[in-house]
Amino acid sequence: MTIFSRLLTALSLVLALSLIAPAASAQVNPTESSVNEDALFQALGTSPVAGRVTIPDANAGYLIKPENKSWAALQGQTLHTLSIVAVVGMIAILALFYLIRGKIRIDSGWSGRKILRFNAIERFAHWTLATTFIILALTGLNLIIGKSVILPLFGEAAFGTLSTWGKIAHNYLAWPFMAALVMIVLLWIIHNVPNKVDLEWIKQGGGLLKKGVHPPARKFNAGQKLIFWSVVLGGAALSYTGIMLLFPAEAGTAADWQFYQTIHALVAAALSAIVIAHIYIGSVGMEGAFDAMGSGEVDENWAKEHHALWVEEVKATQDRNTKQVATPAE
């Protein structure tokens, strides 16, 4: 090491210490033995390690804030565990449900007659919402549990690439997700207002638990209304907190930003668990259900068993339209 580089190192050390010293020196003995991280935090209590800055952003003067440590612990431990419990727990419950109840069949069998359930615009909104949500959920989950689950399995290089692209996808796919969320609110809110038909549906457990039980329902039953409102309110909470995280300058202080981040992660974990249950019932869990969002047309017997009142409404509208065509205006 040349004299010049030694001088430079010494100068940097003096500068760094002078930045920390004003706040720390009041409470900590700046000797070798006390200046290790744990001792420093113990001595500081909740006071931050700060120096002085002359630029307008006073936050730039903070080297370490102990409260950020508790936020990091909340991330690394509590939210980490909660996210895993929510997702794995729901998958375990559904696997158990499948073992006990099996696939919910069309009791009266396929009729071969079709009835239009969702038009192309509704299906476009649903699949935009669904694909963006699934990618957002997986890339978000990677931020919380990736380091402990993905990194050991696939190694640093793969985890690094996945996380970099995942973050970009997360930031950009949030926008089509929000647009699709607005679309499903506009398209379906009218069918999701709770009414007294829902009480009967709930009383009979939605017919999900026993074979041959089919409580009447209109376009959406009480279970679907629960999914709809969870997606809409949860999605709105995720959108608001997500925008705050994307634009931290709008979020307020660092503590506000941490609050938004915690709510974002909690709502995401809860909504992911709910959506996993929805995906199960809309695919492998119920015979004939997927067609509603696949081709848009469902079997008439399926519709009569799960949405009898809606079938009556559709038939009544069709009859009215046929009569109008048959009686031309004078």
What's the min distance (Å) between Cβ of 220 and ligand HEM? 6
> Residues of 61-85 as b/e, b for ≥16 C-beta within 10 angstroms?
beeebeeeeebeebbeeebbebbbe
Q: Which two tokens stand for residue 222?
A: 């009480």
Residue 282 CB: number of other CB atoms within 10 A?
A: 19
Minimum Å gap between C-beta 289 and ligand HEM is 5
Asked if 181 and 129 count as a contact pair (C-beta separation under 8 A), the reply is: yes
CB 310 → ligand HEM: shortest distance, Å? 9
Nearer to ligand HEM, 61 or 176 (CB): 176
Q: How far is CA 135 from the centre of its chain?
A: 10
Radius of gyration of the CA atoms of the chain, in A: 28
Least distance between ligand HEM and beta carbon 61 (Å): 43
Q: Structure tokens of 99?
A: 């073992």
- Closer residue to ligand HEM, CB minimum distance, 163 or 272: 272
In DSSP terms, 49 is beta-bridged to 64
What is d(CA 205, CA 199) in angstroms, rounded to the nearest whole number? 10
User: Could you say which DSSP state residue 49 is in?
Assistant: E
CA angle 77, 80, 86 (to 5 degrees): 130
Q: Are 292 and 105 in contact (CB under 8 A)?
A: no
Which residues contact ligand HEM (rule: CB under 6 A)? 117, 126, 129-130, 133-134, 184, 220, 224, 227-228, 231, 275, 278-279, 282-283, 289-290, 292-293
Closer CB to ligand HEM, 159 or 310, in the complex:
310
Joined tokens for residue 68: 């950020």
**Torsion angle of the four alpha carbons 74, 259, 253, 62, in this order, in degrees rounded to the nearest 10:** 0
Choice between 200 and 256, CB closer to ligand HEM = 200
Residue with tokens 């634009």: 247
Residue that is written with structure tokens 């079997």 in the block: 299
**H helix and E strand count, the chain:** 11, 4
Provide, rounded to whole angstroms, the least separation between the CB of residue 104 and ligand HEM.
13
Q: Which is nearer to ligand HEM, 23 or 130 (CB)?
A: 130
Q: Identify which of residues 24 and 292 has a Cβ nearer to ligand HEM in the complex.
A: 292
What token pair was written down for 291? Answer: 């067609």
Nearest approach in angstroms of CB 203 to ligand HEM is 19
Closest CA to 179 of 140, 132, 226, 144: 132
C-beta closer to ligand HEM: residue 48 or 294: 294
Nearer to ligand HEM, 251 or 275 (CB): 275
126 vs 264, which CB is nearer to ligand HEM? 126
CB of 258 to ligand HEM, least distance (A): 26
Q: In whole angstroms, how close is the CB of 177 to ligand HEM at the nearest point?
A: 8
CB of 134 to ligand HEM, least distance (A): 5
